[in-house]
Amino acid sequence: MKKTIQLSLISVALLSSLSAEETVTLIPLSITSTAIETDELKATDAVEIYTQEDIEKAHVQNVYEFLNSQTSVITMPTYGNPFSQKMDIHGYGIGDGYQNIVVTLNGRKINNIDMVAPLLSSISPASISRIEIIKSGGIVTGGDGANAGVINITTKQNNDKELTVYGGNYGTYDGSLYLGHSEEKYSLSTALDTKRHAGTRYIGDGDKDKNSLTNGSFDLTINPIDELELRAGASFARTNVIYASYLTEDEYNDNPSVAGATNWGSTEQEYDTNALSAGLTYFINNSLNLNVDASQEKKKSNYITYDYVSNYTYSAAKSTLEYSKNNLSLVGGIDVFNGERTSGTKTTDKNNIAGFIMSNVSFGDSTLKAGYRFEQVTYKHDDTSVNIKDNHSLHGAELGYNYALDKEKSLFVNYAHSYQAPDIDRFFSYGVFNDFIEPMQANNYTLGFNHILEHNKFKASFYYIDLKDEIYYYSDLINSWPSPSLSVNTNIDKSHKYGIDIYDKWLINEKFNLALNYNYVQAIIDEETGRNGEDYSGNKLPGVSDHNIKATLSYLPTQEITLSLIEVYRSEAYAANDFANDFAQKQDPYNTTDISVTYAKKDFELFAKINNIFNQSNGLWIKDDAIYPVNFTTTAIAGLKLKF
C-alpha cells in the first residue's frame, strides 16, 4: 500500500505536461521582529527568515514540524509528548537546549518559568506570516535565556481568507480557518485550528497514545488617527494528550509501537492556556515613536495520571521609545515579567524587570550595532512551613559590525554576552527544595558571510561560545531510588561550543530549486565533577549531534504542480544523561525522508504528503534501555485549501 501511494504521487508530477514557469528571483528580506529593522544582507547577526509562502508550501501539521524539517532548529517530542517539544540550536543539547532559546509570538515571550517547553503547537501554521531566527544573538531585547538565540513568530494581518482540511492514516484529521480583513483605519483577523490523532503507539489493553488539540486567536488593530495605532488580541489552546513511556533497546528494535514491559506506563495530560494582550504605538513625529504592550496569560496543567495540577499566571509589560533619522536608529525600553506557579500548597514565583538600549548606525558600506541590557531576576517560594527568596542582577550586551563588499555580498562579526537565570524547577529534587543555583553566563562570537543573488541565497557563519555555569541535571546512576539519591540540578563549571552554519537556497532553473541547511557543532565540557566523583572534563555534552542536515528539493513541472522531496538527518550522539560518555547505548542517528505534492490553481489547492517514506525508526535515548520512539513509522495526509 505504501509503494502504491508513493508511486501515485510521483506519477502525478512526472506525467504532467510541461509549461513555462513564472520567473522567480531572490532578494534580501527585511528583518522585522528585531528592535531595529534592517535587511539580512546588512544584518550583524546570523539570521534565518521564513515567509508565509515558505510555511504554506511545507504543509506541516504544526510549527515544530516546520522548524525540524526546514530550519536549523532541532526539535524532539518531550518524552513522547508531541505538543510540547524540546528544541536545540548551537549545541545546547536536546535535553535543555529549549531553555536557551527565547520564543516570541508577536513580540510576546512565550517561554515558561519551569521546565516546560514553549507550547508552539498552540500556534496555527495557517496564521503565521513570518518566522525569524536570530542565532547567538537577541539578548538585549529578548532577555533571560537568549543564549542560543531568539525565534520570533509573527502572525498575519492581511485580507487572507482560508479554509484548510486534511486527513491521514492513524486517525489523523485537521481543520483550520483563517479570516483576515484589513482597511486603512483598522485590521482584524481570527484563526481557529483543531486536530485529532488516534495514536501510533500502544499503551496497553489495545489503547493507543491518542491526542487532540484546539487553538484559536483573535487580533485587532485600529488607527483612530494617523499618529496612533491601538492593538488588542486574545488566544487560547486546549490540549489532551496520552503519551507512552520508554522502551528497552530490544523492544525498540523489535517493534517501537509497543507499550513496553519495564516502564511505568503511559501519561495523560490536559494543558490549557488563555492569553490576552493590548498595546499601542504613538508616532510622536517622523523620527520618534512610543510603543507600549502588555499581556496576561493563564495556564493550567493537569497530569490526570498522577492527579497533579499546576496553575500559572504570567503578566508582562514592555515599553520602548524608538528614534530613527538618517542613518541612525536608537531604541530604549523597559521590560517587566511576573510569573507564578501554584501546585497544591506550594507557590513559586519568578519575576524579571529589565532596562535596555540598542543602537544601529550606517556609514558608507558599514553598519554598526551596539546594545546593553540590565535585568533583575527575583525568586520567591512559599510552602506551609517554608518561605525562601533569592535574586540575581544580570548583564547582557551585543556588539556587531557588517561590511558590504558590494550589492550582493557582505561580511559580519558579532559578539554577545548572554545569560540564563534558572527556571523554578531547578531548585527542587523529587519535590523537595534543594538549593538556589547560579545563572549561566555565555560569551558568543560569530563571524559570517552573506551572498545574495537573484537565483542563489548563500549564508555561512562560524561561531564560538564560551560558557560558565551551564545548567544541567545530574542523574545519579549509582544510588538508585528509593535509596537516598544524589540526583540534582546543578552547574557545569566551564564549557565551550563551536560550529559552522551553512544555508543555501538555489533556484537551479525554472523547474528545480534546492534549499539546504547544514550545521556542524562541537559541545565540550571543560571542567565539571559529578556528585559521585566522576570527572567529566573533556567530555562531549550529551544529546548533541555533530552533523545536522535538512534539504528540500522541489520540482515544478507546471505552474500548478510542485513536487518536493525533504531529507532530515542528524548524526548519532551520546544519550541525554550520558555526561560521562560511557553508556553502552548511544542516541541513534535521526533520519527521515518525506515527499509532498501540491496542485494549486487560483483559490484552490490540493496537497498530499508522506512523512518517513522509508519507515525509518527514530527515538530519543535518555540512558541505556530508556528510549522514547518518535517518528518511527510512515504517515500520510491528504487535503485541500480554499481561499475566498
| Percent of the chain whose predicted confidence (pLDDT) is above 70 | 93
Mean pLDDT of 204-228: 94
Q: What is the mean pLDDT of residues 25-45?
A: 75
- The DSSP letter of residue 11 is H
Whether the pLDDT of residue 1 is over 70: the answer is no
More confident call, 209 vs 476? 209
On the 0-12 / 13-18 / 19+ scale of CB atoms within 10 A, 114 is: middle
Give the number of domains in the chain. Answer: 1
C-alpha distances in angstroms, 535 versus 440, 522, 579, 582, 584? 20, 19, 9, 12, 18
Q: Assess whether pLDDT exceeds 80 at residue 33.
A: no
pLDDT digits (tens, 9 = 90+) for 285-323: 999 999 999 999 999 999 999 999 999 999 999 999 999
Average pLDDT of span 375-382 = 93
Q: Would you place residue 483 in the very low, low, confident or very high pLDDT band (cuts 50, 70, 90)? A: low
Q: CATH number, domain at 602?
A: 2.40.170.20
Condensed to tens digits (0 to 9), the pLDDT of residues 613-632 reads: 999 999 999 999 999 999 99
Indicate the pLDDT class of residue 38, thresholds 50, 70 and 90: confident
Q: Which domain, by its residues, includes 404? A: 2-643
pLDDT of residue 437: 84
Q: What is the pLDDT of residues 426-466, one digit of tens each?
A: 877 665 666 678 999 999 999 999 999 999 999 999 999 99
Looking at residue 39, what is its pLDDT? 82
Q: What is the DSSP letter of 145?
A: T
Is pLDDT larger for residue 30 or for residue 18? 30
The answer to whether residues 193 and 122 touch, using CB atoms and an 8 Å cutoff, is: no
Band (26; pLDDT cuts 50, 70, 90): low
Mean pLDDT for the chain overall: 91
- Band (pLDDT 50/70/90 cuts) for residue 80 is confident
Give 17's pLDDT tier (boundaries 50, 70, 90). Answer: very low
Cα-based distances in Å from 194 to 157, 236, 241, 427 = 21, 12, 14, 36
Q: What share of the chain has pLDDT > 90, as a percent? A: 81
494-509 mean pLDDT = 97
| pLDDT of res. 429 | 66
Residue 480 pLDDT: 67
E strands, 475-574, in order: 488-507, 512-527, 547-555, 561-570
In sequence order, which residues have a C-beta less than 8 Å from that of residue 565 and are 6 or more positions away? 552, 553, 554, 593, 594, 595
